[in-house]
Every structure is written in structure tokens, then in C-alpha cells.
Chain A
Amino acid sequence: MSARNKELVNLCFAALVASAAFASVSIVTTGVVSTHWLGYAGVVFGLYITAHLVARSTVPYADPTLLPIAGLLTAVGLTVIYRLGPEDARRQAVWIGLGIAVFAATLFWLRWDYRVLERYKYLFGVSAVVLLLLPSVPGLGYRVNGVKLWVKVGGLQFQPGELAKIFLIVFLAGYLRDKREALARGRLKDLGPLLAIWGAAMLVLVQTSDLGSALLNFGIFIAMVYAATGRFLYVGVGLTLFMAGSAALYNTLGRVEQRVTVWLHPWTDERVYCAINGKLEYRQNCDSYQLVKSLYSIANGGYGGTGLGKGTFETVDGTPLIPYLNTDFVYSAIAQELGLVGAAALLLLFMVFVARGFRISLIAQDGFSKLLASGLAFGFALQTFIIVGGVLRVVPLTGITLPFVSYGGSSILSNFVMLALLLLVSNRAVATANRS
């Protein structure tokens, strides 16, 4: 069977699972068996069939699992978002449509040779930094939760950091392909760019006080430098510098300090000062409120979960128990309703996606393609780790999105660009291998 036919079969399977999930939520929330949910499932499936057809004409040899996994993840995300608030689900569905349009556009634009991107690597590098700093521009950026991540132009708001991540990966793939021999020799002067990027990461951290994005971008950078040079020294130096920088900022940025304290000691037995209302409170009722409630939500799922649509997210009189449930904390909603079985299955989907990404990187022929694919795959894994790990109290909690699942336009769009790039690399690698 050709790669695209496999993809179609996989997509149908994903559609089956997604429809079952959607039907279940619909039945639970409305109390009647109706065909109303078919509309949603049909629209999403239709969008993915469109994406499949585009892939058929532009990247015929590309990996057949990535698109169906992305489809299943967006469907699960949409199901949970619908379950938490049908209004958001409608907007999310529109974003998925736009995402698939961007996906198709990317595929059409780069269908001959995506390696033209390498030529503009410095443009991408500069754009990445500009995008990252955009929220700090007065009048343009604004804060949500004390973190400057958003840009507002007119009525439109977006998170430029999501796109900056991909630009950074493209830049690094191009730059490191050029400089990797020089870097591998390990001359002291070649540490220059490394220090420059480290400085940029710290600058972004200071400017936006967003530990999550800084950690994500810097982690991708370290991984790609290692993949390009094979020298552990860079990893060691890079991590040490990042730790040192964060430690230095720990005391100056109250926000970072607060996040770390919450992570280490979410529960207190005595009342401590609460900056939110200026009173003495238990920490679980103040700074670590979100984290603690989300842990309760996850724990409530147990092995089998409460069942889709039957989780508890609000009090008896309808007050929400967990803030930011459909963005930062979407995983705790999924873990409660689907239980360990469902949450582990979701994480396995992420693992398959990451594994396929690295496989593409391994079979790609040229350095740029290899670095691009491994950068995208590692970024995907690390982003998942930072947000889910934060929700699970493995690392300090920072607000970034869960790829393909969380509610949010910028995140969906950039994930589809990433998906398109991976498919392009995969298509070329397989096509070349077939020819030779």
C-alpha cells in the first residue's frame, strides 16, 4: 500500500475514535442521543481529508502516521474543549480550519524544495528574536497572568512566541549546518554564537518573565547544537549557563521565585503571606491553588477515569474549580475523564509522533534536513514535557500550550506549520531513497 493510502486508512481509524469520543460527550452533556455531534465530527474529518488530499498531491511519499496522529490529537483536544465550553470549541474549530489552510499553503509553497529556507536563515533568526521581543513593545504586548506573551493588534491577539520557535529551529538548522565542523573542533572563539543565543534567551526571560518559553527555546538550541557537533561540552556549558542565569534571575524576578516555591512546597500546614489578596492564607488556597486543584483533578481520574463528559470541574453551584482548564491545564481535564489508561494513551500518541519525527531526521540525506527534523521533533517533545510536567509537578509550572490539544489559535497555527515541514522533509528523504 502506498504511503498516502496508509494515511487515509489511519485517518479513518482516527475519525472513528474521535467520533466515539465526541458522541459520548454529546450524549452525557445533553442527556439525549442525537446526531447533532455528527456536524462537528464531520467538519473536522472533512478538514483532515482536505489536508490528506493536499498531502497526496504535494508530498506523496511522506510519513503516513503524522497527519492522522495530529488529527486524533486535535480531535481529542476539541472534544475536551467542547465538553468544557461549546463556545470555545466553535472558535477552536475555526482555528483548526485556518491551521489546515496554513498547512496546505506551506506544502504548496515549498513542494519543490523546502531547502530554499536555508538561504534565508539569518532572516529567520532575526525574525525569531524580533517575534520573541514583540510582546515587550509598549502598546503592542500585554500581560496575561503576569507573563508578557501576547500581542494585540486591533481585535486580534496572538502569541508570537509560538511562531518564533519554528523560525528559531529553521535558523539553527541552517546556521549549524554551515558551522558545525568549526564548532565541532571546539575553538574558544566559536563559543561566541552560543553565548549570544544564551544572552538572547536570558533577555527574553527578563523581558517577558516567561520561564517556559525560555526553557523551551534554549532546550531546542542545546539539543540541536549537540546533534550538529556531537560534543557534550556544549551541552554541559549550555546547561550550566542556563542554570546560572536562572539562579541569578531567581532572586530578581519574583515570578520565577514564586513558581519554584509553589513547585517545591505546594501545600503548607500554616498560613503564609499571600500576595494575591495581601492576607495570610494556606499556600494551597493562594499561589499554588491552580496546581493543587489540577493535581486533585488528575488524581480523581484513577485508572479508568470518570468517563468523557462526566468529570468534575465545577462546584455544585457551577463555579469553575480549575482556572485555565482548556489551555494550560487541558491535560488535567483529560487525565480526570480518561484516567490513567486514556492519559497514557495520549502520551503514547505524542511518543509515536516524536519517534516518527526522529526517524525522518535519521533517513534524511542532508545536514539541513536532519537538523530541521530533529529540532522540530525535539521541540515537540520538550514542549509537551514542560507543560505536562508542570501540571504533574515534575518541573515548575509554566504556562505554555500542549501541542495540537490546548485551546488557542497561535499554537494551532504554528503546530500545523511544524507538521507541514516534517512532512516535506519526510517526502524528500523517502523519494531520494526510492530513487537511489
Chain B
Amino acid sequence: MNGQIKRVATVAMALLVVLIVATTYWQTWARPALAERQDNEIQRVAQFEVRRGVILTPSRVVARNRPRVVRGKTLYFRRYPQGKLAAHVVGYSTVARSRTGLERSLNDYLTGSVRSLSSLVDQSLDKLNGKPIVGDAVRTTLDLNGQRTALEALGDNCGAVVALDPRTGRLRAMASSPSYDPNDVERAFGKIEKIRANCTPASPLLNRASQGLYPPGSTFKVVTASAALESGKVEPGSTFTDPGYCTVYGKRVNNFDTSRPFGTVSLATALQFSVNSVFCNIGLQLGAKRILQQAKKFGFYDRPPLETPESERRPSGLYKIEDRGLHLYEPKRNRDVDAGRMAFGQERLLVTPLQMAMVAGAIGNGGILMKPYVVDRIVAPNSRTRMRTKPQKIRRAVSPATARDVGDMMVRAVQAGTGTAAQLPGLRIGGKTGTAETGVGGSNVTWFIAFAGPEGKKPTLAIAVVLQNQSLTGGATAAPIARQVMQALLLPTANP
């Protein structure tokens, strides 16, 4: 009988070995996937036992911890001392509504789960000593003064401001209006739901600076002008006759103001005064694919890089409505797209303010597009720097000559063109206005994009401002906001 008993014993042992294997599977291999699941409350609650790393700006703390003892356990809840100033970039970390912003994308650092050997040793020792795990601190590049100025300037309007250093890609300001107080998310979400602004729905949680998609209007002419100059077919001095309209597929496309045709104008003048018909004809001459090619070099059709969660950034480009949703659309043939309208920012183009700031930045930076970043460094609890962001070039968007020529045209637009409202003494500013009509009176999307810097030096700031539901032009609404933010960021002493 012993032979049979041995076989039965083997089966019994095999059953138990299966259990060890299965336990190993769930605790090692399947663990990250389970931890990611939204309905995993254990993971969400457990992370509140970690003393989360703080989030800082160069001057202030924007996210810190408030310990509370619950049932003998110390739990660390988040407080955001700067309230709504940096809400969209920093995001929130709560029990009730999980996480957004940097709180979400950098969760592994903030909870100390990105492990190097030394931090693993430190953590194990802390665990044995019963000390809480401490996460890494995140230092951002945001300028709170710039954030405050931007939000105040945006006021009740729905819109966004993005400002970055074109030389490095360092994000200086990213504000979305209306904003919300992240301290309300956990316990007073009703307050956030009640926020109203000059648009419906007000969607205060949406980061319009990188998630909002708007028709670019005339700001897209910067891209078209770049494409035209890069093609070699057009020079800044090339002249065009402006009849006040342009004919596309037998239909007339009018200038913003049809009463005064410009007559014969150069490309430079056309950009300075934002003449639609000239760009319409350039667009027809170049074809849609060449313009889109140039747009891609500026970063269109890619999600703009930034440390915030991927779902909070959207790529810019042509969109079409399909299955009740917006879908990025890349035309295969030139005739699929109305190149004339696209050339001055209509057609089905939708862009984010972050993308347009990158366009202005590349022009200001001699044609080189830098990778935007908002996290300067990540610091371990033992004060050792775990990660420091080095400025990275994405690619050359246009040649130095094109950048210089388009830049000069934009400077003229601010000196004596559509963007005069953005002038600041002592600074060289090049900008482009945009006014996209949505077909409903008084509900234009208005834009201003610009680069700026001290006279005779490389520009040190690129900015994009967008506003929804405006009755006036970009030059009248968005340019003054850009001016205030530029002043706050470049001439801080003048605005104490």
C-alpha cells in the first residue's frame, strides 16, 4: 500500500506548492497592476500611512502633510497652503477622489516607493523602528507670484496662461481659470461644484493650460509663416495683393475687417496686421501637408511633454468628431483639408495653450524647441538629490534665419500692429494675437502668444494666453493679460 500512499502524499504536497506559487504570483508579479486599480481602497488607504513628500516652489510649500491619529494609527492627510494658486499643476491626493496632477504622476516618489538600494535600507530600518515611511520632496519651477498675477488677470474668465523659459523649457507659470481650492476636494466637494465662471460648464478641475483644446485662430499664422519661409518659396519681403478676401473652393474667406483691404502687402506686414487673405493664399500655395509638417516640428500631434499625468495633457492638431468624441486626425492627402482656412488657424485645428507657448518659445529661442518641465528636482528624505532635471532639446523646429525673420515680424506686431497692448518698457517683445470666431456672437476664443526678454538679449520668457467667450479681439483681451504676467515674471521689482 506504501506505493499508493507515496503517490497520494505527492499530490497533497503538490497542492500546497501550488499555493506558494500562487501567493508569489499575487505578491510580486501581479502586485503593481493591482496597486494601480481605481477600486483598490487598501492601496489608497495604506498610502496615507506614508509621510508623503512635500511639494515646493522655489519660494513656498504648496503641498504638505497634516498628521491625524485615527484608531491608533497616524495618517497623513494633505494640506495645500497656497490654495488655488497652483491647484492644476500640483493636483490633489485624497481618500475620496484619488489623485490628480503631480500628486498622481509622481506618487511613487512622493510615497517613497521609487527605491534605490540606500533608500531601501533606510526604509527597512525605519520600518523596524516603527517610524513612518517618508516620501521624497518635489521641487517645482512654478513662480507663485506669476501664478497669482495670472489668476487675478484671468478673473472670472474661462481661460489659461502658460509661461515658460524658452532657453531651457522651464515652466514659470501654468494657470487655469476658474481654479479651485484643492483643500475642498476631500470634504467640501460641493463648494467646487458650485464654482461658476464665464462659461458653462465651468469645469474648475480641468487644467485648461494643457487639457483644454481651442481653435488657435491667427496665432497659427506663426506656424504658417514659418512653413512658408522654410519652404524657400517666400521671403519676408515677398509681396501679396490683398483683395480683402480669398477664394477657397469657390467660397470667399473674408478678412477680419473687410472694409479696408490692405492692397499690396509683404509677408511681414501681413503677420503684423494679421491679414487673413494673404495667409489663406500662402496656405493654398503650400498645401496642408507642408503646413502640418511644420506644425509637427513645433510639437503638434504629440502630447506635450511635462511631468503631469498623461491624461491631463492633450496633443494639438486637426481633430474630427467621431463616435461622440474628439479624435486627432491626420490627413493622408492635401485635398482632405482646407489648406486656406487652416493657414490662418481655422479648419478643424484645436490646440492647447501649452503647445502655443512652445511655438512662441521655439521662435524666440532661435528655432530650437526645448522640452518643457515643471519639476526642478526630487530630493530624498536624507536631503540627497534623487533626480535633477537637465534642460533637453526636443528638436530644431525652424532654421535660425526663419526664427529670426518670424521673430522680427512678431516684434513688429507688438510695436505697431495688432499686439500693441502687450508692450512693456525696456523689454523686446514679439507676439501674435488670435481671435477665433465660434459662430456665436460674443463668444470668440481669443489668444495672445509671445516671447519676451531684455533688449539686445535672447528672450527669457515665452507665454500663451487663451480666453473663452470673448466679444473683443485677442489684442484687446488676451494681450493685456500677457503683459501683466510678463511684467510679474520679468520685472518683479516693478510690481511688488
Contact = CB atoms under 8 A, between A and B. Distances in A.
A340 B28 contact: yes
Given A296-B42, A296-B43, A297-B42, A384 B16 contact: yes
A358 B1 contact: no
Interface of B: 1-9, 11-13, 15-20, 22-24, 26-28, 30-31, 34-35, 37, 39-43, 45-46, 48-49, 70-72, 75, 95, 124, 127, 130
Interface string A263-307: 000000000000000000010110000001101111111111011
A29 B27 contact: no
A332 B19 CA distance: 12
B12 A358 contact: yes
Nearest to A305: B27
A361 B5 contact: yes
Contact of B72 (A31, A223, A300, A301): A31
Interface of A: 27-31, 223, 226-230, 282, 284-285, 292-293, 295-304, 306-307, 310, 312-318, 321, 335-336, 339-340, 343-344, 347-348, 350-351, 354-355, 358, 361-362, 367, 370-371, 374, 377-378, 381-382, 384-385, 388-389, 392-394
B43 A354 contact: no
A381 B46 contact: no
Contacts, number: 161
Contact of A285 (B23, B39, B72): B39
B133 to A, nearest CB: 10
Top 5 A-B residue pairs of the complex, sorted by shortest distance between their CB atoms: A381-B12, A358-B9, A385-B15, A392-B22, A299-B34
Contact of B30 (A299, A312, A348, A381): A299
Contacts of B34: 295-296, 299
Given A299-B31, A355-B9, A284 B39 contact: yes
B19 A347 contact: yes
Given A30-B72, A227-B1, A284-B39, A351 B13 contact: yes
A244 B422 CA distance: 82
30 contacts: A31-B72, A227-B4, A230-B1, A230-B4, A284-B39, A296-B34, A298-B26, A300-B42, A310-B49, A312-B42, A316-B70, A318-B71, A321-B45, A335-B26, A335-B27, A340-B23, A343-B27, A344-B20, A347-B16, A348-B20, A351-B16, A358-B8, A362-B5, A370-B1, A370-B2, A374-B9, A378-B11, A378-B12, A393-B22, A394-B19
Contacts of B35: 299-300
Nearest to A229: B4
Majority SS at the chain A contact face:
helix
A228 B23 contact: no
A362 B8 contact: no
Contacts of B2: 362, 370
A354 B95 contact: no
B8 A227 contact: yes
Contacts of A348: 20
A314 B43 CA distance: 11
Contact of B23 (A29, A298, A317): A298
Contact of B4 (A226, A344, A384): A226
A227 B27 contact: no
A297 B34 CA distance: 10
A302 B113 CA distance: 12
A156 B39 CA distance: 38
B46 A300 contact: yes
Nearest to A284: B39
A316 B19 contact: no
Nearest to B39: A284
Contacts of A296: 34, 37, 40-43
Given A374-B9, A384-B19, 10 more contacts: A223-B11, A223-B12, A303-B28, A321-B45, A347-B20, A355-B9, A362-B5, A378-B12, A381-B16, A394-B19
B425 to A, nearest CB: 54
B8 A292 contact: no
Nearest to A353: B16
Contacts of B8: 223, 226-227, 358, 374, 378
Contacts of B46: 300, 306, 312
A169 B250 CA distance: 93
Contacts of B28: 302-303, 340
A242 to B, nearest CB: 16
